[in-house]
Amino acid sequence: MPALPILLPSRLFNMSREKLKQTWWPSLKLLVVSLLLVQSQGVSIAKTLSSESIQDDRSPLPPGQSQQNPSRPIEAIQIADEPVYIDRPPIPTAIETPVSSDLVDGAVDGAVDGAVGGDSSVNPDATSATDASNMDASNIDDTSGATVPEAVDSDLYASEPTYIADEPTRMRRSNPQPAVRRSQQELLADYQDKIHAFVVNRDLKTSLEGSDIRTQAKQETIATLEQLDSQRKAALLKFLAESYLIDSKTPVISLVGADLSSADLSRVTLSNLDLRDADLRDANLSRANLSGTKLFRATLNRADLSFANLSGAEFFRASLGDAKLFFANLSNANFNSADLKGGDLSLANLTAADFSNADLSQTDLSFANLSNAKLIGADLSSADLSFANLKSASLKGADLSGVNLRNADLSGVDLSDANLDGADLTGAKLKGANLFGVDLGNATLSNTTMPDGTVK
């Protein structure tokens, strides 16, 4: 602080230094402390006033006009997907910093000593050097000499003014999640508009198979499905079905090889569709109607097909590992050479289904109805067929090692050349079964009804 100008009355010059200090020192100290506090609190006052003035009037203003200063244009910045108009209040000259009590006492003593012309007990240069040494050099603004707050986390945008360096800026960040949802919806809407234009303007429905317009429509469909989420994949299929563009008899748009992974297709009707080579991993097809649908070589690993209608569906060489087919209707379905390892087919209706050469190892077929089913050469090792109905089924040459057939009905079953090593036939019924070439030496027989009607 500069030396106090000598404006005292002439009678004070005759006073001793101690008397002068006792008289004026408390007043000067109070004055200096007040000045320092006013200076340090200036930014907080400016910030409060600017925040209140911004929040007082929330009515929209036309671009280029500000509530605080109509003559100053509003600067538009882009945050997320929306342009946000902000009005920057005047830049403060200093940043609020804590005031050290030692610094205040030193400044007051120096001012008093300078006023009376005596020796100063506080060295201003030393004080400045000490304060500077305690100050983090990384927090110094070279242009203003003021300390700068720590960097603000980029993910934190509040409604209150956010201070970056020494410039307060009122910022608002929109939630990016709605933007993602809008982009998905826009993608689906754009696809629907394109297909509608193909039908109306380019006669898609009456075009010949293999024509350029059909090829383009299929490419648009496949590409769009790869980008959509589970719900919108279902919406796209519903749109095509209602537009009669994927009818199985005369499909206009082919879904062969389509990406329907994780799609939510529960309760939808996709009967008689051609979904060869389609990707349906993790798809939800519970209670869906897929009767007669062609699913050759399709991938349905971990798909949920519980309570679904799959009667007459074609699953030739399809992959259904760990799939859920609980209580599903699979009557007359073709699973020839399909992979169902680890699947859940308990309580399923598999009447007259063809599982020839299929992998059913470790599957749960408990309480399933497999009457008249074909399981020729099938791998049923370690499968659970307890309480299953296998009347008149054909298991010729099947691998039934380690299988659980407790209380299963095997009446009239063809088990010729089958492997029953380690099979559990406790309580099973084998009356009229064909056991030609079967070795039951390592099988468990307890209360088992043999082919001749005897019980072992």
Whether the per-residue pLDDT at 397 is higher than 90: the answer is: yes
Distance CA 437, CA 397 (A): 10
Helices (H) and strands (E) in the chain, counts: 7, 4
Confidence of residue 374 (pLDDT cuts 50, 70, 90): very high
Cite the DSSP H helix spans in 255-359: none
SS3 106: helix
Does residue 72 register a pLDDT over 50? no
Sequential DSSP letters for 165-199: TTEEE------HHHHHHHHHHHHHHHHHHHHHHHH
Distance, CA of 256 to CA of 279 (rounded, Å): 9
- Could you report the per-residue pLDDT of 15-69, keeping only the tens digit for each? 555 555 566 666 777 777 777 776 666 655 555 555 554 444 444 444 444 444 4
Give strand pairing partners of 414: 394, 434
Confidence check: pLDDT of 80 > 80:
no
pLDDT digits (tens, 9 = 90+) for 238-270: 999 999 999 877 899 999 999 999 999 999 988
Cβ atoms of residues 330 and 318 within 8 Å: no
Tokens found for residue 384: 């659970």
For residue range 198-228, list pLDDT tens digits in order. 999 999 999 998 999 999 999 999 999 999 9
Find, among 278, 269, 271, 316, the residue nearest to 299 by Cα. Answer: 278
Q: What is the mean pLDDT of the chain?
A: 76
Distance CA 265, CA 259 (A): 13
**pLDDT (tens digit, 9 = 90+) per residue, 1-13?**
444 444 444 454 4
Q: Which residue has tokens 């079953």?
A: 413
Do 298 and 274 meet the contact criterion of CB atoms below 8 Å apart?
no
Q: Strand, helix or coil at 71?
A: coil
Helices 212-225 and 176-202 pack at an angle, to 10 degrees, of 170
Q: DSSP assignment of 377-418, as one string?
A: T-B-TT-B-TT-B-TT-B-TT-B-TT-B-TT-B-TT-B-TT-
pLDDT tens, 111-154?
Answer: 445 444 444 444 444 444 444 444 444 443 443 444 444 443 43
Q: Where along the chain do its domains lie? A: 10-169, 178-242
